[in-house]
A = this chain, B = another copy of it.
Amino acid sequence: MPKPKKAHPVTARSTHGVTVFDVAKLAGVAPITVSRVMNQPDQVKESTRLKVLRVIEETGYVRNQIAGSLASNRTRLVAVIVPMLTNPVFSDTFQAIASRLAQADYQVLLGISGYEAAQEQELLEVILSRRPDGIILTGTLHTEISRRRLRATGIPVVETWDMTDDPIDMLVGFSHETIGERAARHLLAQGYREFALIEVDDPRGMRRSDSFIRHLARRGIAPVDRQTFTGLPTLEQGRRGLVKLLPRLAPLAAGASRQPLMIFCTSDTLAHGVLTEAASRGIAIPDQAGVIGFGDMNFAAHTFPALSTVRIDGGHIGRQAAIALLERLKDPTGARPVAMDVGFTLVDRASTRALPPEE
């Protein structure tokens, strides 16, 4: 007598669940046919398909994707690493990615890196062990080990929120350098001639700053007063930044006629702090000083005065990243390189203004 299989002993091994074998037996077909009903329904005759579907319904069978993934070597899982979800620009990106991928029956595995390349590397280790079909990263600043590992796996990767000449694989973002330069051009065109800068020591933001200053220097404006803080940007730092810049504003307070100072902040949060401190000190924005931020966070339009800023469309980045990845997953062989610049928008609100031409 052959030993009975599927005895469902109560151990950690068994899930007591209905399996394809159970469904197959009840439907009078082979397990593989049940599998086909779920994965390639077109290849199954309608009558058989309906029969199987009815049994699935009756038994309450829930497929086991774990087993399926192991056998097929595809997980329908995409891992997304984001620095921080409490920043609305990233949650927009993430939501867009998840929505677009869900439409194509992919699920999203989240990792939060906290802006740390080292933490990202650890996350990647865990993530790779789950064999995602694709990976979407934020930024292009990864450890060399991360880059090597990712390239070695051959898993499609999309880097977002930045541009680089040496992407791991695909790329959807914008150029921090271009933002710095375009902002400088724009503010010069508006008539500003005096500049200061408030930033935190985030490398991406500093690339905007550097580019901003570089362009000003080319136009003969240097040096720029640069207040650099440490860590994630806070309102408090913006306030302190303005306090440090007070000497630059003093001459006007004394009645001397002069151009307003333009304060370039690498984050809306810092800029918001500047506005707050200015209000508390009776410094008139934009008359005594102009302020521009970065991100167009949801409060930017509602500060007083409303904040001029650089808008990044996080949702758009997410959608494009998802689309690029899906394209590749659909046709892994036709791997054209993807490097999409989604650009940005300079948003003029009340915290800056066009100045009358100089005498």
Contact = CB atoms under 8 A, between A and B. Distances in A.
Interface of A: 12-15, 60, 62-67, 69-73, 75, 77, 84-86, 88, 91-92, 94-95, 98-99, 102, 105, 107-112, 123, 125-131, 149, 152-153, 272, 298-299, 302-304
Given A107-B109, A108-B110, 18 more contacts: A15-B73, A60-B152, A62-B129, A64-B70, A65-B129, A65-B131, A66-B69, A66-B70, A85-B85, A85-B98, A86-B88, A86-B91, A86-B95, A105-B126, A107-B110, A107-B130, A109-B109, A109-B110
A72 B299 contact: no
11 contacts: A13-B73, A14-B73, A15-B131, A62-B128, A62-B129, A66-B66, A85-B95, A86-B95, A102-B123, A302-B302, A302-B303
A131 B298 contact: no
A331 to B, nearest CB: 15
Given A73-B13, A107-B126, A299-B298, A94 B102 contact: no
Q: How many copies does the complex hold?
A: 2
B75 A66 contact: yes
Nearest to A131: B66
Contacts of A126: 105, 107
Contacts of A128: 62
Nearest to A88: B88
Contacts of A72: 12
Contacts of A111: 102, 107
A111 B123 CA distance: 20
Given A64-B129, A66-B131, A92-B86, A98 B73 contact: no
A15 B129 CA distance: 12
A299 B129 CA distance: 40
Contacts of A12: 72-73
Contacts of A64: 70, 129, 131
B99 A95 contact: no
B66 A130 contact: yes
A32 to B, nearest CB: 15
Interface centre among A153, A272, A299 (most CB of B within 10 A): A299
A91 B99 CA distance: 15
Nearest to A112: B98
A92 B85 CA distance: 7
Contact of A95 (B63, B84, B105, B108): B84
Residue with the highest number of chain B CB atoms closer than 10 Å, among A14, A91, A99, A149:
A91
Contacts of A303: 302
Given A66-B130, A107-B111, A85 B94 contact: yes
Contacts of A95: 84-86, 112
